[in-house]
Amino acid sequence: MTGKESKGTLKSVEKALQILEAFSINNPELSAAELEEKLSLPKVSIYRFLRVLQKRGFIMQNSQTREYRLGIKVFELWSQLWVLMRLSIIIKYHKSVVYPNGWPVSPAITNNVSSTIAI
């Protein structure tokens, strides 16, 4: 990929992210015209990006109002992030002690029982 193609690709990614970021709790559904006005992008570009985002599951279209909203793929990514954040919190909370057998053991377990159980 040449530098020129790379810049074009990055601009496309930037525009696609701007479309996703246009949606909010206050604006859960937006029409293409509202996106065009809000983002100052040409309508033809808005429709191209919406088509790709919709195909990939990041955007859904309300069949009654014809307005767009965030799709299930956004929720899937959020739920993955939530799980990773929760695991990070759990790992930080239960600072593991490594015993000679090489298994990490939670100090909470070792402090409350007379024998050690590796998890």
Residues 16 and 45 in one domain: yes
Q: Does the pLDDT at position 42 exceed 70?
A: yes
What's the pTM? 0.66
Query: 41-56 burial by CB neighbour count: b if 16+ within 10 A, else e?
Result: beeeebeebbeebeee
Note whether 64 and 11 are same-domain residues. Answer: yes
Asked if residue 92 belongs to a domain, the reply is yes
Q: What is the pLDDT of residues 57-115, one digit of tens each?
A: 999 999 999 999 999 999 998 888 887 777 776 666 555 555 555 555 555 555 554 45
Q: What residue numbers bound the domain in which 92 lies?
A: 73-112
Please report which helix (H) or strand (E) contains residue 70, including its range: strand 68-70
